[in-house]
């Protein structure tokens, strides 16, 4: 028989509760196995020493303390359940990993601000006044709206100018194409020469 098979029996053997055949099996094994014999001897030594020790003295105030704790703990079951509900509600936020994540996010923003040179101004308590916050939001909204409106109007003006210019260009091109088709500008060069003469005579009249 192996030592491991006898472990449970050895315990009962030390307790002295084994029947005749089982006891003789253990004794036979102990006669052959030195390590098991040593274990039995050690167990008896330990048991003998433990039997000599004094009982534990309970502090006199402990029972009263426990009863007080139990009473105060029991008198407010609603409070504890409420507290538990609140703690359960905030449980995901109060995790160390969440705190670490928040810290990392803040650090990232701080580093980003540092690199992009975004001016950071210290927040004052007066900045958090509702009236001030509201007026700031209103002002910013109005400014943004006005800016968008101006941008749209400027865009429209530019578009209109471009349209007008392209119309004029088209009109000028149309005239240029029409003239060679009639053949008038090559046939009468005198008429072209006449115009400055006419203009000159008009200016002469005005000066006289």
Partner 1 sequence: MVERCLRGEEAAWEDLVKTHTRRVYSICLRFTSKEQEAQDLTQEVFLRVFRTVKSFRAGEGSFTVWLTRLTRNLLIDNYRRTKSERVTDSIEDQLPMLEEKTAIESRTDAMLAGREASEVLQGALAKLSPELRETVILRDLEGMEYREIAGALGVPEGTVKSRLNRGRAELARILRRQKVVV
User: Which residues here bind partner 1, judged by CB under 8 A?
Assistant: 4, 7-8, 10-12, 38-39, 41-43, 45-50, 52-56, 58-59, 62-63, 65-67, 69-71, 73-74
Q: Which is nearer to partner 1, 48 or 190 (CB)?
A: 48
Between 67 and 94, whose beta carbon lies closer to partner 1?
A: 67
Task: Please state, as a whole number, how many other Cβ atoms lie within 10 Å of the Cβ of residue 29.
Answer: 19
Judged by CB, which is closer to partner 1: 17, or 107? 17
String of b and e for 167-193 (b: at least 16 CB within 10 Å)? eeeeeeeeeeeeeeeeeeeeeeeeeee
Return the DSSP state at 117.
Answer: T
- Cβ at position 91, least distance to partner 1 in Å: 19
Q: Do residues 3 and 35 lie in contact, with contact meaning Cβ atoms separated by under 8 Å?
A: yes
Q: Least separation, in Å, of the C-beta of 47 and partner 1?
A: 6
Q: Integer distance in angstroms from the first to the last C-alpha of the chain?
A: 150
Q: Distance (Å, rounded) from C-alpha 141 to C-alpha 125?
A: 23
Q: How far is the CB of 138 from partner 1 (least distance, A)?
A: 54
Q: Which residues contact residue 37 at a Cβ distance below 8 angstroms, ignoring those fewer than 6 apart?
A: 30, 31
Which residue is listed with tokens 């006044």? Answer: 129
Of the pair 45, 111, the CB lying nearest partner 1 is at 45
Minimum distance from CB of 61 to partner 1 (Å)? 9
Please state the closest distance from residue 44 (CB atom) to partner 1, in A. 8
DSSP 30-43: HHH-HHHHHHHHHH
Smaller CB separation from partner 1, 51 or 122: 51
* Residue 25: Cβ within 10 Å count: 16
The CB-of-63 to partner 1 minimum distance in angstroms stands at 5
For partner 1, give the closer residue by CB, 65 or 184: 65
């Amino acid at each position: 028989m192996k030592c491991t098979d006898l472990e449970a029996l050895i315990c009962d053997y030390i307790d002295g509760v084994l029947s005749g055949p089982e006891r003789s099996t253990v004794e036979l094994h102990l006669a052959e196995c030195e390590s098991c014999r040593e274990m039995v001897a050690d167990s008896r030594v330990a048991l003998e020493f433990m039997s000599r020790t004094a009982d534990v003295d309970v502090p006199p105030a402990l029972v009263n303390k426990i009863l007080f704790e139990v009473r105060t703990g029991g008198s407010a079951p609603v409070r504890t359940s409420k507290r538990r509900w609140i703690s359960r509600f905030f449980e995901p936020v109060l995790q160390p990993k969440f705190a670490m994540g928040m810290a990392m996010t803040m650090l990232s923003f701080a580093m980003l601000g540092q690199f992009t040179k975004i001016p950071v101004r210290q927040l004052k308590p007066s900045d958090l006044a509702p009236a001030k916050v509201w007026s700031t939001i209103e002002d910013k909204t109005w400014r943004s709206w006005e800016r968008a409106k101006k941008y749209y109007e400027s865009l429209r003006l530019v578009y209109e100018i471009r349209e007008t210019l392209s119309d004029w260009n088209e009109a000028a091109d149309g005239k240029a194409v029409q003239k060679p088709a009639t053949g008038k500008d090559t046939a009468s060069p005198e008429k072209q020469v006449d115009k400055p003469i006419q203009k000159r005579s008009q200016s002469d009249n005005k000066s006289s």
